[in-house]
A and B are shown apart, each in its own frame.
Chain A
Amino acid sequence: MLRLDSVHAGYGQIEVLRGVQLNVERGEIVTLIGANGAGKSTTLLAVSGIVHVRSGTISFEGKSLAGLRSHEVTSLGIAHVPEGRRIFKSLTVLENLRMGAFQRHDNPGIAQDIEKVFSLFPVLGERKRQLGGTLSGGEQQMLAIGRAVLARPRLLLLDEPSLGLAPLVTQTIFSVVRELNAKEGTTVLLVEQNARLALDTASRGYVLEIGRVVAEGPSRQLLTDPRVIEAYLGEA
């Protein structure tokens, strides 16, 4: 579904991705783990057309994403929940959700999906008239995911959804991600610092180091790989 072939990308003079190679199949949850600065977020940003790709190709459902701008990438069916949530603080919860459905014009469908988000995250329903900036971190993360769901994406790019959240909230969010994958068939590419949580959720994983994939395989296999255990799971 999503395929990256020796992708090089970076900011200004600095090259962050040095030949990233990965693919995601329809219906999977795939995770990308690695240390800070390994290029996980940059990979997602390259897919979304925000970071300029210098060489290599990215294709989605067989179509090349080269030269597309981020809103054009979105219109192909990719939704991106970036790091730090980036809620529109002075828009209400409802307005934030509606912005997620910007490219859709089926108003009844949008209303239905908003209800669906409220049933996934009831707390958002209670606060739908509140400004985004007044929500707590966990609620903002829920809103960010809900906003992405409203685009009805076939592929969801999730960047660090657990960052700075209480364990209980993290659990809620991850169970919703699993539910979306199981019930709606949404494919998920998950970037996560918490490698254990990520590998528990995903079926496959890639390990990224200094802009390259250094290990890949089914989650179960990575969970038992001694190198991964030592570097990322923090136990012997």
Chain B
Amino acid sequence: MSADRGIRDRALHAARLVLLVLLVSSPLVWLKLERAGDETRDRLAFNWERASGLLHALPWILLVLGAGAALGFFLSRFKGAIASAGDRVRQEARKLAATRPRRAALVALPFVLLVLFPFLPPHLSKESQLSVQNYTNVVVFITIYATLAVGLNITVGQAGLLVLGYAAFYEIGAYSYAIIAQPERGEHGLVLAIPLAIVASATLGLVVGLPSLRLRGDYLALVTLGFGETLRYVIRNLEDLTGGEMGLSIPDRAKPPTLMLSSYALDRQLSVLVGTSILLALCISTTARIQRSRVGRAWLAIREDELAANCMGIASRYYKLLAFVLSAIWAGLAGVAYAGQVGFVSPKSFEFDESILILSMVVLGGMGRIGGAILGAVLLYTLKWVLQDKFSEYTDYKNLVLGAIMILLMVFRPQGLLGSAQLAQELKGEEASAPPPAAAPALSQGAAP
């Protein structure tokens, strides 16, 4: 009875919000500015095409809404059953992953399968080879983004430092490679690019990190964002070195070498995939190791309460800088991988959207969790790719969907996919004063005669 009323209230609330959105968005949706043949200025007209289009889509919309409502009803009806089933699954999983190596293997398994998949079918028709190549390309990017997400998770998730301009480190890595690969600079390859990218990104990490030591959360976010934007402008303006807006392409001689598997030469894509997989594996293992070490615990302390951490003798400035530099290095290496894969860099590839995409991966998966960052990277990049490649006629809607998903996710699961429910409870807890400590009973036991 009361559950029914809860559902009805919630449905009513949702309906009111939908109505509000429809009403508020109507001027922009239904009116359009158009120019008739010889006029010089726009006129306003009702958007009839959209109206008829919507009319045609109406059955689908109703179907989706109906399915959503049914799902919502179902979920709230069988909430208890679902929760207990979830608990059982979780218990089983915990049993299965009782030891650390087992747990690591379990986490790695789907990933290994994903990476190995392109290697599995060796001889294919020309057509399907193309799709394998396409697929390899996607997997390469997933590994690159997973490296980025795990790297960003060091600052944002583990040390609690909000970095909004992460693409800057990624960018400087990619440009390090592209610049030394130019013919006039000797067409150097990965051997020089990798150390250079490490040095460059670590230096940038220091440069960004140093002024941030004094700044608190949101100021830090803005400063890192400003650094990202500034670097983009600097790169755009230093045309002699960076090619400016036109970007730089990497000549064939400087591209990553193709690997030999006994006598069988892998194609370049697969070779890059081997490289990015190694990079990701390195990134995950060292990051996980550091997270469990003294350093990781220091970051945790700083994230929870910097003042208290300082009082306990943790040199927070040092650890914060360390987080910046480590995080920057992974992004720099990912940048080298990106340049090697695409063979071309330009400022357009490292805009603010890119930083946001990586940050969303971290938050989506559950901040502070390496597995979460990887999961977020896999899901978001796949989503992006599907929207872009498979629904290319709807490509305009790609970012619309991405934005909506980010909002819905934060509203319904602010702790991220792998975050714990208990954390969510704490986050949503009452604003009032903290729970008082339990009192020693005086009347009922001790003092009673």
Contact = CB atoms under 8 A, between A and B. Distances in A.
A and B touch in the complex (CB under 8 A): yes
Interface of A: 10-14, 16, 34-39, 41-42, 45, 50-52, 83, 207, 209-210, 212, 214-215, 226-228, 230-232
B435 A231 contact: no
State the majority secondary structure of interface residues on B: loop
Interface stretch (B383-391, B408-416, B437-445): B437-445
20 contacts: A11-B429, A11-B434, A14-B435, A16-B436, A35-B442, A41-B436, A45-B432, A45-B433, A51-B432, A207-B443, A209-B444, A210-B438, A210-B441, A210-B444, A214-B444, A227-B448, A228-B443, A231-B442, A231-B443, A231-B447
Closest 9 CB pairs of A and B: A231-B442, A37-B439, A37-B436, A11-B435, A35-B439, A214-B443, A231-B447, A50-B432, A38-B439
Given A215-B443, A227-B449, 19 more contacts: A10-B435, A11-B434, A11-B435, A14-B435, A34-B439, A36-B437, A36-B439, A37-B438, A41-B433, A50-B431, A51-B430, A52-B430, A83-B433, A207-B443, A209-B443, A210-B441, A227-B443, A231-B443, A231-B446
State the majority secondary structure of interface residues on A: mixed
B366 to A, nearest CB: 20
B429 A12 contact: yes
Interface residues on B, range: 20 to 34
Contacts of B430: 11, 50-52
A48 B10 CA distance: 24
Nearest to A50: B432
B441 A209 contact: yes
A32 to B, nearest CB: 13
A197 B448 CA distance: 23
A212 B447 CA distance: 16
Interface string B403-433: 0000000000000000000000110011111
Given A11-B429, A35-B442, A231-B442, A16 B435 contact: yes
Contacts of A51: 430, 432
A226 B429 contact: no
A9 to B, nearest CB: 10
A188 to B, nearest CB: 21
Nearest to A35: B439
Contacts of B432: 11, 45, 50-51
Of B431, B435, B448, chain A has the most CB atoms within 10 Å of the CB of B435
Contacts of A13: 425
A45 B434 CA distance: 12
Nearest to B435: A11
Contacts of A45: 432-433
A209 B440 CA distance: 8
Nearest to A10: B435
A210 B429 contact: no
Contact of A226 (B438, B439, B444, B449): B449
Contacts of B434: 11
Contacts of B438: 37, 210
A5 B20 CA distance: 40
Nearest to B436: A37
A11 B433 CA distance: 9
Nearest to B428: A12
Nearest to B437: A37
